[in-house]
Structure formats: C-alpha cells, structure tokens
C-alpha cells in the first residue's frame, strides 16, 4: 500500500548490477535507503515495472510509488541535490519522476492512478515550488511528525499546516493519511475534538480522499474509547460540519445508557487536560509524554468511572462497555504507579488494578478478536503485566549516588522501554534493581562512523533529543575495561532534556528509554542532569573466564541526577 519503492526495484535483485539506481549516501551508493530518481536507467526500469504491473493486474486500479519508511535525504548525488534546491523540498527528485511517469501511465492505462506519500518534513511532506503533478497522480499527505496532542491548526503544527495548504498548488488530487492515535502504550488522551477540527480543515482545503490508520494499540480491543472514535471518524468524513459534542452525546447515550453522563465527564476531562499540555506528543508516545496523567487526574477519573460502573451495575451490556472504557485509565495507573503511590491516599492497590485490567482485556479479546488471534494477544499482554507485577522497591543505588538526597534523583526501569525488531528482551534478573532488566547481544563490530580510537568491544550508548536532533554519545569500556559480574554505573554525561528525548543503547539503538522525557519541565527548560546507566556484562568478549557462552549486556535502570542540588 505504501513505502513501495523496493517492491518495484528490489535491491537484492538489482543493486549488484546497478548500484547507480540507488541512493548516494555521502560518497557511496547504498542498497538500504531510497532510489536515485535522476538516474535515467532507474527511471526506465521503474516505469517499466509499474506499467507491467498495471497491465497484469487492474488497469483501473491505484498503484503506490512511495518512499521507503526510513529517515534521511533521498539521494546525495548532484542532480538530485540540484532538484531539491530548485523545488525547496527534499522530495523533489521523487516528484520530478512522478510528473514524468503520470503521462506515460495515462497514455496506456487512462483509468489507472499512481499514489505517493507526502511524508516527513525532512523528506516529501513539503510540496514542490514549480512541479505540477498530473491528474492521475494522487498525493497522500501523511503528517507523521505532527504534535499528536493538538489539531493541525494549532501553532505547534504550523509547519504541517503550511505544507498542507500549499499542496493544492501542485496537485488536483490531494488525499490525507490520517493518524487518530499515537502508538506506544494504549494510554488515554483527549483527541476527539482534534478529529473534528482536522476534518473541517481538510474540507476547507479540498482534500478528496482519506486513509485512516486506525490500528494503533487499543483500537481493536476497545481501549482508548476507540469505538466512539471510529464512529466519529466515519460521521465526520461524510460531514465535517456536524457538531462533535452532539455526536458524542448521541453515541454515549446509546452505548453507555445511564452511565453516559459520567463517561462524557471523563471525555471532557481528557480533552481539557490534553489540550492544556505545553509540550509536543510524538507519533510513538511514551508514558512520560502523557504529562497530564498526574496522580490527581488519574484518581479523579477513577472516581468518575467508579460512579459510572455503579450506575449500570445491573445491566451486563452497559457494564461491559463502561469497563472497556476504563481499560486505558487502568493501564495509566499501572504505568504511573510510582507517582500514585508517592502521592498517597490511593483507594486501591496496584494488583487490584492489574487484575481488573487483565480481566476486562481478556473478555474484550475473546468477544471481539478472531479466535485465531486470542492466544497471541493474551500472551503479549500477559508478558507485559508480568514485568509490571515483578516491580518491588528498588535496590539502593551504589556509591557515589547513594549519598545524594532522593528528591534530586530519578530512576527509570526497563518495563516500559521501547525494544525494537524483537532483538532485546526483558528478563528476570535477581541482581537487577527491580528484579528485571533488558538484555541484548551487543553489536561488537564497530560501524564505519565509529571514532577510530575506540578500543574493541565497547558498548555505545547515549542521549538523543528528537526535537533538535542532538546526539550525545558515551562508551562503556572506553576509559576503563569492562568487567563481568554485577551491575555497575556508567556515566553518559551531562545533558538538558526536551519533551521528546530518550536514552539509547548499542550501535543499533534498539534499546530506548523514552520515559525520561517525562522529566522535562518547560518552566525549567535549561535544567541540567547527570545521566548514568546501570549495566552488567557477560560473555567471552568481556572475560575469557566467564561461564557464559554468549555475549550479553543487561540494563536494569537509567538514573538522572539533578546537576544543581
């Protein structure tokens, strides 16, 4: 459907004979980036592949020619860079090619259409200055790097709005690929009025079609008020002028019965709290980015839903739906339990919330999902909840951090870390601070961009600010030899935070602690923190005498210490 370039011209088939068809990265052609759209041979081969496929499939269908889902410039060769400079968009080489492809497709298959994504501000989201796309080319505007906590017309999304408003100058077929929800944990947030505002904007600009990516976590199992949200989307696509509050009232009256007023109060609280946030929320939002999920907010919403459940206790149908509406709130309480417990006066235990969450989720999966999916869905949640329940009071910090007053120290354990490609795993570890750690086989081979003076077998780790793209690297084993055995603190250096930042590990960056962004306070934007990672190592790369056969590193916590105390 999208990100299709390598479906048309697979690098595993063509790169060996035609490296010039693929992106120039610096001074080297690479097989895993994009295509070099100014290369004549590539244009010929790609056009042939598209025309052949249309002839074999549906002459009246729509065919995607869209960039791969990787960041970075499409190509660094001089002709591609010249197009970028002329058109004022990194996507210029792609659009130049599509402007030529469209007439060739129309000549042979007049009913066929070509689609592409306007995706990422550093790639193809900005429209070209002078290129006008043919009528059979569909531009699908996909604002993946928006602030997901605000509508497109919010000042925080000013660049997105400008790009969207300028696209009708370059195309007669503007569609939108819309993201109703963030990925990451299925936490509650207020985004129903965002929907209404965005669809009214799309109507005003002249958007002709939509793809709605309504498959983020929680949608299929009725978390995040997803059923209401899906219904609103279908109504607003037909008529964005409809009153969203009237629609919400109509739906909740029918879906929740006597509990509807309390559900609407819950929705209003979410909308107000989300709208009041001063910081951005990325497409894959960590728990820390949900800044409105304070102890006071969570407890207030739990009281509302207590009342809602009591109101419909005698009606199994309405009671089930209220319980489903509560699931994301319960997950938020589980993930924010340390703050809830610190606030005191919590009228329930963590285990009570975990049990309720599991029971409701299990019932939702069994009633809504395909039977062939039941075991996989329930197993995935069971694994996650296992890590949430294993948490105990953390072991004391080792020297010298043990002498620092607790109010100046923040610790992050791995149960909510983002783990990519299925390589890192959370494991039980009695030596770990909370009984669990994230474990991974290290990438021991240094990449070409690694500093030449690094000794072998170092662990690359660091801090990344997504807003400024600032990287900060540190290397375990650079100044002192890595030792096996117990956990040891390794400094990552001093840094300031942003609303979108994280600590990462390994050359692959496949272990990421995103919840550290929750420490950012816009009122103390310049506050500095000293960062440490608690890591232990095992395997022959670190000690020939180790009994472990395979190399592994384990991270049990990341520690932030206020620089000024």
Encoded tokens for 393: 């009071």
Question: What's the rounded Cα separation, in Å, for the pair 82 and 105?
Answer: 26
**DSSP for 47-76, written as a single string:** HHHHHHHHHHS-TTSEEE----S--S-S--
Encoded tokens for 125: 């989201």
Q: Which of 326, 361, 389 is the last residue of a domain?
A: 389
Taking phi over 0 as left and psi of -120 to 50 as alpha, with beta for the rest, 218 belongs to left
Name the pairing type of β-strands 459-465 and 470-476.
antiparallel
Share of the chain above pLDDT 70, in %: 99
Is 359 in the same domain as 247?
yes
Q: Output the pLDDT for position 546.
A: 81
Q: Does residue 358 sit within a domain?
A: yes
Those residues with Cβ within 8 angstroms of residue 388's Cβ, 6 or more apart along the chain or in another chain: 334, 335, 337, 350, 354, 415
Q: Which of 358, 389, 420 is the last residue of a domain?
A: 389
Is 479 in the same domain as 518?
yes
Encoded tokens for 187: 């936490």
Q: Does residue 308 sit within a domain?
A: yes
Q: Output the pLDDT for position 391.
A: 67
Q: Residue 437 pairs with which residues in a beta bridge?
A: 427
- Contact by Cβ (8 Å): 63, 96: no
**DSSP for 344-413, written as a single string:** ---SS-HHHHHHHHHHHHHHHHHHHS-GGGHHHHHHHHHHHHHHHHS--SPPPPPTTGGGS-GGGEEEE-
Higher local confidence (pLDDT), 1 or 258: 258
Q: Output the pLDDT for position 383.
A: 81
Would you say residue 485 has pLDDT above 80? yes
Question: What's the rounded Cα separation, in Å, for the pair 481 and 458?
Answer: 9
Is 268 in the same domain as 376?
yes
Q: Does residue 552 sit within a domain?
A: yes
Is 209 in the same domain as 223?
no
Question: What's the rounded Cα separation, in Å, for the pair 234 and 232?
Answer: 5
Q: Is the peptide bond before 347 cis (omega within 30 degrees of 0)?
A: no
- Contact by Cβ (8 Å): 460, 528: no
Is 232 in the same domain as 341?
yes
Coil, strand or helix at 517: helix
Is 53 in the same domain as 197?
yes
Question: What's the rounded Cα separation, in Å, for the pair 384 and 184?
Answer: 13
Is 364 in the same domain as 380?
yes
- Burial class, 265, CB count within 10 angstroms (exposed 0-12 / middle 13-18 / buried 19+): middle
Q: Does residue 361 sit within a domain?
A: yes
Question: What's the rounded Cα separation, in Å, for the pair 191 and 219?
Answer: 14
Backbone angles phi, psi at 78, to 5 degrees: -60, -45
Is 141 in the same domain as 275?
no
Q: What is the CATH number of the domain that holds 45?
A: 3.20.20
Question: What's the rounded Cα separation, in Å, for the pair 97 and 101?
Answer: 6
- Burial class, 124, CB count within 10 angstroms (exposed 0-12 / middle 13-18 / buried 19+): buried
Which pLDDT tens digit goes with each residue over 115-138? 999 999 999 999 999 999 999 999
Those residues with Cβ within 8 angstroms of residue 163's Cβ, 6 or more apart along the chain or in another chain: 118, 121, 125, 126, 127, 141
Which pLDDT tens digit goes with each residue over 391-425? 668 999 999 999 999 999 999 999 989 999 888 99
Q: Does residue 394 sit within a domain?
A: no
Q: Work out the pLDDT band at 471, boundaries 50, 70, 90.
A: very high
Angle at which helix 295-311 crosses helix 260-275, to 10 degrees, equals 160
Is 307 in the same domain as 421?
no
Question: What's the rounded Cα separation, in Å, for the pair 256 and 541?
Answer: 59
Q: For the chain, what is the domain count?
A: 3
Which pLDDT tens digit goes with each residue over 336-369? 998 998 898 999 999 999 999 999 999 999 999 8
Q: Does residue 395 sit within a domain?
A: no
Is 121 in the same domain as 142?
yes
Question: What's the rounded Cα separation, in Å, for the pair 71 and 73?
Answer: 7
**Domain containing residue 504:** 401-562
* Whole-prediction pTM: 0.92
Backbone angles phi, psi at 556, to 5 degrees: -105, -15
Is 373 in the same domain as 432?
no
**How many Cβ atoms are within 10 Å of 16's Cβ, its own excluded?**
9
User: Which of 481, 457, 462 shows the shortest CA–CA distance to 553?
Assistant: 457
- Burial class, 214, CB count within 10 angstroms (exposed 0-12 / middle 13-18 / buried 19+): middle
Is 317 in the same domain as 444?
no
Q: Output the pLDDT for position 278.
A: 86
Which pLDDT tens digit goes with each residue over 489-529? 999 999 999 999 999 999 999 999 999 999 999 999 999 99
Q: Which of 184, 213, 242 is the last residue of a domain?
A: 213
Encoded tokens for 515: 């919840």
Q: Does residue 163 sit within a domain?
A: yes
- Contact by Cβ (8 Å): 353, 388: no
Reported as half-sphere exposure (CB side, CA atoms, 13 A), residue 255 has a value of 21
Q: Does residue 535 sit within a domain?
A: yes
Would you say residue 201 has pLDDT above 80? yes
Average confidence (pLDDT) over 50-74:
96
């Amino acid at each position: 459907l999208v990100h299709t370039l390598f479906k048309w011209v697979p690098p595993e088939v063509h790169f060996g004979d035609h490296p010039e068809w693929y992106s120039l990265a610096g001074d080297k052609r690479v097989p895993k980036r994009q295509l070099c759209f100014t290369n004549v041979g590539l244009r010929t081969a790609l056009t042939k592949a598209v025309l052949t496929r249309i002839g074999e499939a549906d002459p009246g269908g729509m065919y995607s020619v869209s960039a791969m889902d990787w960041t970075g410039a499409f190509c660094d060769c001089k002709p591609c860079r010249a197009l970028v400079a002329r058109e004022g968009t990194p996507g210029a080489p792609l659009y130049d090619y599509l402007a030529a492809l469209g007439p060739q497709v129309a000549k042979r298959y007049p009913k066929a259409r070509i689609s592409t994504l306007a995706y990422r501000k550093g790639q193809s989201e900005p429209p070209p200055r002078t290129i006008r796309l043919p009528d059979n080319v569909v531009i699908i505007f996909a604002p993946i790097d928006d602030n997901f906590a605000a509508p497109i017309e919010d000042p925080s999304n000013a660049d997105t709005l400008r790009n969207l408003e300028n696209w009708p100058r370059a195309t007669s077929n503007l569609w939108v690929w819309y993201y109703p929800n963030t990925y990451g944990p299925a936490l509650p947030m207020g985004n129903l009025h965002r929907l209404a505002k965005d669809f009214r904007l799309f109507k005003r600009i002249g958007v002709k079609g939509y793809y709605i990516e309504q498959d983020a976590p929680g949608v299929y199992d009725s978390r995040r008020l997803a059923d209401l949200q899906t219904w609103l989307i279908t109504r607003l696509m037909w008529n964005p002028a409809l009153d969203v509050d009237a629609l919400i009232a109509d739906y909740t009256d029918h879906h929740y019965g006597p509990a509807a007023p309390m559900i609407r109060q819950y929705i209003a609280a979410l909308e107000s709290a989300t709208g009041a946030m001063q910081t951005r929320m990325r497409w894959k939002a960590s728990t820390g980015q949900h800044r409105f999920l304070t102890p006071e907010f969570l407890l207030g919403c739990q009281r509302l839903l207590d009342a809602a459940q009591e109101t419909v206790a005698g009606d199994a149908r309405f009671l089930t739906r209220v319980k489903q509406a509560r699931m994301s709130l319960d997950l938020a309480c589980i993930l924010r339990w340390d703050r809830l417990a610190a606030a005191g006066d919590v009228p329930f235990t963590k285990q009570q919330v975990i049990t309720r969450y599991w029971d409701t989720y299990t019932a939702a999966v069994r009633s809504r999902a395909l039977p062939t999916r039941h075991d996989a869905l329930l197993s995935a949640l069971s694994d996650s909840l296992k890590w949430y329940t294993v948490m105990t009071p953390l072991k004391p910090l080792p020297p010298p951090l043990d002498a620092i007053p607790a109010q100046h120290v923040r610790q992050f354990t791995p149960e909510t870390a983002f783990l990519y490609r299925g390589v890192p795993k959370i494991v039980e570890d009695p030596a770990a601070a909370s009984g669990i750690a994230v474990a991974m086989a290290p990438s021991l081979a240094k990449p070409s961009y690694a500093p030449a003076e690094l000794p072998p077998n170092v662990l690359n780790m660091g801090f990344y600010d997504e807003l400024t793209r600032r990287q900060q690297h540190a290397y375990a084993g650079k100044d002192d030899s890595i030792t096996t055995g117990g956990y040891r603190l390794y400094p990552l250096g001093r840094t300031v935070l942003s609303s979108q930042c994280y600590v990462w590990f390994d050359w692959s960056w496949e272990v990421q602690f995103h919840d550290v962004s929750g420490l950012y306070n816009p009122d103390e934007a310049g506050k500095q923190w000293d960062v440490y990672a608690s890591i232990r190592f095992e395997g022959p790369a670190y000690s020939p005498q180790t009994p472990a056969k395979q190399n592994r590193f384990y991270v049990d916590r990341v520690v932030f210490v206020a620089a000024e105390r």
